[in-house]
Structure 1
C-alpha cells in the first residue's frame, strides 16, 4: 500500500520540513502520496508537484480547512487512511498537534520523533531526552508517525512532475474549534529549525536586552537566533526561539551556544549539530562535554570581540 505524507505549508508555499518527511517516507516504501490540505492552497500543491519521487499530490481545498486546524484536518486524514499503510508528518508544532488526533481516531499507537527507518514496521526514535535510542516495531495496520527533520536530508524541491488530484471533503464547519487570531513573528533571519547557522543564548546573558549582542552576531553570520528554556522562562525572548526537548530540534552546520550551561533538555535539541561552539565563563559547564570548540570567557567580552573579527 501507499504512504500518505502530510504537507506542512502556509497555503502559498511548502515548509522545508515537508522535504525531510518525503525523504523519511521514501525509506519506508516506494509509492508516496502527499496531502496538501487548506484553503486557497493550490499554489502550495503546485510546489509539492515539483518534488521528485511522488506518485500523487492530493489537494483538499475547503473553507473548513482554513488555518489547517488539527480538529478540522484530522477527520480528513482518517477518511483517507483506509488506503494507506503509513501516515507520515514532520515532527513540528503542526505535526505534533495533528497526528496524535489521527492516531486516536484510528485506534492505533503513534510513533513520535522517528530518526531512523529499519523496515516497513520497525523504526528508531530517541527516548530519555535523546540519551537512548529505542528500536520500536509497530504491528498496527496503519502506522502513524512523526519524523524528526534533522535526522533526514531534505528531498529535492525541483525536478518532478507529479499530477495533482483534487479531493472533495465536506468538513465540519461547526464550532468544535474555531480560529480566533494569530500573531506572526516576522524576521529577515533564517527560520530557526532549518537555519545552517544558529546562535543561541542562555540565562548567562542576564536580560532580554543582552540578546541584542547575539542578534548583531547572527546578522553578520546570516544565522538564526535561538535560546535555552531558562532564557525563555526568564522572559528574555519569546518561546518560538526555544531550542531543546520541549522546544525546536535543530541540526545546523554550526551551533554557537552562548551563556548556556548545557542542561540535558537543551542538549536533546541541538547535539546533532555538525559543529558546536560553546562560550561560557564556567569551565565546568556541561555544554563543554558536547562542544567541538569551547571558550571559557566572559561572553560580554568574547561576543563583541568575535563580532569585530568578523
Structure 2
C-alpha cells in the first residue's frame, strides 16, 4: 500500500468522528445497485456525502446515491454505504476499498456486503437472493498489493472463511422463518465471480466461469471482502440475482433492467437484512 494510505484513512476517520458526536457504529452495510433504499430504514440518520469526506472517491453509477447514512437499525448502531465505488470507474482497487478501512476504524465489527449479480446457476432465477459462500476474484487486481500497513492488518490475511459461516447459517434460519410467514423469499447460496467490468460478459466467458464453479457474476465485492478480512471484519455477502447469465442462453441486458429487478426484490432483501441485523451478535 502507498506510504500515505494509512494517513489518509486516519484523516478521513478523524473528520467523520467530529460529525458522529461520539456515536460508534457496530455494523456496516454496503448497498449495491438498486438496493439503496435500505438506507431509508435507518433511524436518527445522519447523512454524509462521500464528496465531503477527505480523500474519498465519488460514486458515479446510476442507482448509487453516494453517501454514508449513520444511525440505528433494529436498535443497533449502523453505518450504511448508500452506493459504492467500482474498479471499472477508474479508481484503483485501494481507493475502492478505502471506506472499508474507515468503517473499521470508526468501530465497525461486522459488515453486510450486497450486490446485484447475474445468475449462472441454472437452479436460480431472476429475483432470487444468494448468500455468498465464497468468491472467485477475476478482476486481475487486489487491494492488498503493495506495502502492508500493520496498523490495518497482517501481511497475509487468511481467506479460508472469507464469508462468515455462522452469519450464513443465521441468514438461512431467518429466510426459513420468513417462508413460514408466507413471505415469498427465494434464498440460494453459492460462489460469486467478481470481474472488473464494465462490460457484461460474452457467452463464452460466462460458460467458462460457470465451469470454474461460479454461481453468480458481478463487478464488485471481491476487493471489499479482501480488505474486510485484512482488517478483521466479519462478512455476510448477499447477491440479488437480477438476471440469468447462462452463456448458452444469453440475451441482451441493460443496467436499467438490472436496477428494475433489484427494485422488485427489494422488500424481501430489506426484510432479510433487518432481521439479520436484529439477531446477529457482534
Structure-1-length-normalised TM-score: 0.27
Structure-2-length-normalised TM-score: 0.28
Larger radius of gyration: 1
Q: Whose RCO is larger (CA < 8 A, sep 6+)?
A: 2
